Amino acid sequence: MRCKNCDNSLKDTQKFCDECGAKIINNRLQPKIIAQQVNEQFISIDNKFFRTFFDLFKQPESVIIGYINGTRKKYIDVLQYFAISLTLAGIQVFLITTFFKDALDFTPGFINPEKDINPLPGFNSDLFTKYQGLIYILGVPVSALATWLVYLILGDRRFNFTEHLVLNLYYSAQIIIITAVLSILFLVTGMNYLIVSSLLGLPTFIYLAYVLKKVFNEDFWSTFAKFLMVMFVYVVIYFIAIMLLFLILYLSGNFKI
C-alpha cells in the first residue's frame, strides 16, 4: 500500500503516513464520512479550530511561536485559519447586502433625522463590501511590515518578515472572526452597523498590543512604546495606501470630489 499524498510505501496496518503525516483513508466518500470530518474540524469541543481560537486569547505565543518553530498539528495552519476568517467575513457581507442593505448607509440620519446630507456623496460603499476580502488580504502585509520595521529598527531581529507575516495573519484572522460574528449578531438585533464597527475598533488595537507583549515576552512599558511606534508606521503606510486608492477610484469615476 502507498500513501495517496506523497506516494510513500506503507504497511497495511498503518493509520498515518510516517513520511507526510497524512491520515490513511481507505473508505469511499459518504455523507457519514464527511459529517465526521466536519465534526472533527469545526464542531466538536476538542478540535483544532476552537483550540486555536481560544488559545489565541489565552496564550497567543503558544500558537504563533509554535507555528514558527514547526508545531503544525496542534493548531490550525495559519493560512487555513485566515481562509476560515475570510469565509465568515464573506457570510457577513452576504447578509448585509441581502438583508441589511441600510446598514451601509453613510447618511447621518441616525444623528439628525432632519438632515439628509451624505458626507461622501460621490462615494460608492458597494466597493468596500464587494472587495472586503481583498482589503483584508492586502492589510496583512501592511501590518506585518509595520511590526517588522519597528522591531528591526529597535534591534529585535528574532523574527524575520515572513515570521511577522505569520503573527499578523493569526492576529488578523482572529479579529476578522470576532468582528464578523459580532457584526452579524448586532445586525440581527437591530444595532447600527457603523456604530458597532466603531466600538469594535479600540479592542482590536488593544488585542494587538496584547499579542505583541505575549509573543515578544516584554514588560508593559516596552510593549506599549513599541505598540505606539507600530501604530504610527501602520497609519503612515495606510494613509499612503488610502490616498492611492482614492486616486484610483477618482480616475475610474467611482469617487467624485
- Between CA 189 and CA 16 the distance in angstroms is 47
- Confidence (pTM): 0.73
Instruction: Locate the domains of the chain by residue range.
Output: 76-252
Among 80-84, 123-127, 172-176, the range scoring the smallest mean pLDDT is 123-127
3-class secondary structure, 219: coil
Q: Is residue 74 pLDDT above 60, yes or no? A: yes
Asked if residues 63 and 56 have their Cβ atoms less than 8 Å apart, the reply is yes
Q: Quote the pLDDT of residue 161.
A: 95
Going by the DSSP 8-state scheme, the letter that residue 28 receives in this structure is: P
CA 135 and chain centroid, separation: 11
CA atoms of 108 and 116, how far apart (whole Å): 7
CA 181 to chain centre: 12
Candidate from 14-18, 22-26, 72-76, 245-249 with smallest mean pLDDT: 22-26
Residue 162's Cβ-count burial label (10 Å; 0-12, 13-18, 19+) is exposed
